Amino acid sequence: MKKIIVRGGSPLNGDVYISGMKNAALPIIFACILSKGKNILYNVPRVSDIELSFDILRSLGATVSERADGGIELDTAGVRSEVAPYELVSKMRGSTYLIGAMLSRFGEARVGLPGGCNFGDRPIDQHVKGFATLGAQISFDEGSLRADAGDGLVGNSVYLDIASVGATVNIIIAAVFAKGTTVVMNAAREPHIVDLANFLNHCGADIRGAGTNTIKIHGVSELHPCEYSISPDMIEAGTFMVAAATAGGCVNVKNIIPEHLDTITAKLREAGAKLEVFDDSITVTSDRWLRGVTIKTWPYPGFATDMHPQFSAMLCYANGVSTIGEGIFDGRFKYVDELKKMGASIDVDGNVASIIGGMPLHGASVSATDLRAGAALVIAALAAQGTTEIGGVEFIERGYCNIDKKLRALGADIYAVEV
Ligand code: EPU
C-alpha cells in the first residue's frame, strides 16, 4: 500500500508538463476496436485507468505495445466478440464505452456494469436510451448489460435529458457504422468529445458538430487505423494551477490548450492569483493572499465538477467565505470530512459547500475518497503547517501521472512511499 507524505510550506516554482487527457484517451482507446488494425496513439497518460483499459482490450484479443518513440500501438484486428472479465470492467466507469464499441463492430455487446469513482448514483439510462433509439434491443441480467443490434443499427435522433459525457461518447461510437444519420441533441460539449470525434474522423468516420450541443454522425461502412495524439489534460493542468495558487510561487503550466481552462483561469484571477496566458501554456504567480469566490459546477463550458474538490482545498486558505455549488454529482462532498481533519471550516448544505477560509490548515492523517478528492488533499497539504499523510493513493493514480515527482520538481516536499 502506498501513502503520499507532504511536508507543507514550500512554494512551487518552475515548469510542469501536462500529460494527455485521461477522459479523452479512454473513449479513444475503446474506439480503436472499430478500426480493426494497428492504431498508434501519442500523448497517452500512463495512469492506472488507462492501464486497466489496455488490460480490458487485451482480454478481448487486442495487442498493446509501447513504441520506442513513446507512442502506444494498439492492434485491434484480433478483438473477439466476447465478454470482458467482470473484475476488470467493474473497476472503471470508462468501461461502459465497450458497449458502444462492441455494438458498433459486432452488432452485439455484453458488458458488466461499470464501477469508477463513487460519488453517488451514476445511472447509464441515457446511454441505454441512445442504443435503443438506434434500434438495439437492451436487456440486463446478472449485473451485466446485453445489447443486440440484429441487422445493424439505424441512425436516428437522440435527445439526451442530461448533457452526459459518457452517453454522448457511447452514442457517437455506436453510430459510426449505423445506416443513415444519427443526431445527438443536448450533447456534451467537453474537449474530450471533440478529441474522440477528431480521432474517429481521422479513421474515416463522418462526425460533425462535436464541441456544440448538436452532433451529427453520418454512418460509414468501415474505418481504417490511424495515428493520433491525445489532447492535453485540462483537469491535470487545472490541478497544478490551483496547487501553485495555494502554495505560492510561480509555475509555468506547459503543453496545454489554454482555451480549455478559461473558467479555471477566470476563477483563479477572481481569487487573486496572477495568470499570464500564452499559446500553449499558462503562468500562475501567487503570493498566497487569496480571497473567497463563489463557484457553481456545470457541464462544459461551465466550471468542471472535476475541479471542485481542488478549489475547495485552495479556498480554505482564501480570506472570507466561499461557496461551491455542485451541479453534476450529488455525492461529491466526501472530501470535506478529510479536509476538516486538517482544520478546514466547511459546511455542506444540500449540494452547496460554504468554506470559511483564511486560517492555515495543519498536517493530519487523511485518505483520498476518490480521484479529485485525493488531488484536493495534496493541494491542502502543500500549504499546511506540518506533515500530512495521505492514504487512498490508488485513487490519485487513476488520473495523475507521477503527481509526487512533478510537484517535487517544482520544489514541494512530497514523496509517495510504500507502507
Ligand atoms: N447521468 C444520468 N444518466 C446517464 C448518464 C449520466 O443521470 O445515463 C448523470 C450522472 O449521474 C451525473 C451527470 O449525468 O449526475 C453527468 O454524468 P456524465 O455522464 O456526464 O459523467 P460520466 O461520463 O460518468 C465523465 C468523466 C468524469 C467527469 C464527468 C463530468 C470519464 C471516464 N469520466 O463521467 O470524470 O466527472 O464526466 O464531467 O470521462 C474524473 O476524471 O475524475 C471523473 C470522474
| Ligand 1 atom showing the smallest separation from residue 163 Cα | 20
| Ligand 1 atom showing the smallest separation from residue 300 Cα | 38
Final residue in a domain of this structure, among 176, 196, 229:
229
Say how many Å lie between the CA of residue 167 and the centre of ligand 1: 9
Q: Are residues 161 and 207 in the same domain?
A: yes
Final residue in a domain of this structure, among 175, 207, 229:
229
185 contacts 212 by C-beta, under 8 angstroms: no
Q: What is the pTM of this model?
A: 0.97
In the residue annotation, 117 being an active-site residue is answered as yes
Say how many Å lie between the CA of residue 23 and the centre of ligand 1: 10
- Which domain range does residue 346 map to? 2-18+232-418
Q: Are residues 361 and 391 in the same domain?
A: yes
Say how many Å lie between the CA of residue 210 and the centre of ligand 1: 17
Round to whole Å and give the CA distance between 348 and 49.
30
Say how many Å lie between the CA of residue 8 and the centre of ligand 1: 33
Cis peptide before 301 (omega within 30 of 0): yes
| Ligand 1 atom showing the smallest separation from residue 190 Cα | 38
What pLDDT, on a 0 to 100 scale, did the predictor assign at position 119? 52
What pLDDT, on a 0 to 100 scale, did the predictor assign at position 107? 96
Final residue in a domain of this structure, among 214, 229, 244:
229
Closest CA to 352 of 295, 282, 392: 295
Q: Are residues 130 and 12 in the same domain?
A: no
56 contacts 89 by C-beta, under 8 angstroms: yes
Name the residue with the closest Cα to ligand 1, atom 37: 165
| Ligand 1 atom showing the smallest separation from residue 93 Cα | 32
Residue ranges in 216-316 assigned as alpha helix (H) = 234-247, 262-270, 308-315
What pLDDT, on a 0 to 100 scale, did the predictor assign at position 121? 67
Roughly how many angstroms between the first and final C-alpha of the chain, as a whole number?
6
Closest CA to 118 of 350, 368, 323: 368
Ligand 1: residue of 56, 165, 192, 351 to mutate (most ligand atoms within 8 A of CB) is: 165
For 17, the enclosing helix (H) or strand (E) is: strand 12-17
Q: Quick one: cell of 31?
A: 474506439
In 194-233, the DSSP E strands lie at 206-208, 214-218, 227-229
Report, as ranges of residue numbers, the positions in the chain whose pLDDT lies below 70.
115-121
Structural domain count, the chain: 2
CATH number for the domain that contains residue 322: 3.65.10.10
Phi-psi region of 392 (alpha: psi -120 to 50; beta: other; left: phi over 0): left
Identify the DSSP state of 231: P
Q: Are residues 225 and 263 in the same domain?
A: no
What pLDDT, on a 0 to 100 scale, did the predictor assign at position 211? 98
Q: Are residues 202 and 274 in the same domain?
A: no
Closest CA to 377 of 401, 409, 343: 343
Ligand 1 binding pocket (C-beta < 6 A) is 23, 26, 93-94, 117, 122-127, 162, 164-167, 188, 305-306, 328-329, 371-372, 399
Q: Are residues 274 and 350 in the same domain?
A: yes
What pLDDT, on a 0 to 100 scale, did the predictor assign at position 312? 98
Q: Are residues 256 and 329 in the same domain?
A: yes
Dump the DSSP string for 118-164.
-SS----HHHHHHHHHTT-EEEEETTEEEEE-TT--B--EEE-SS--
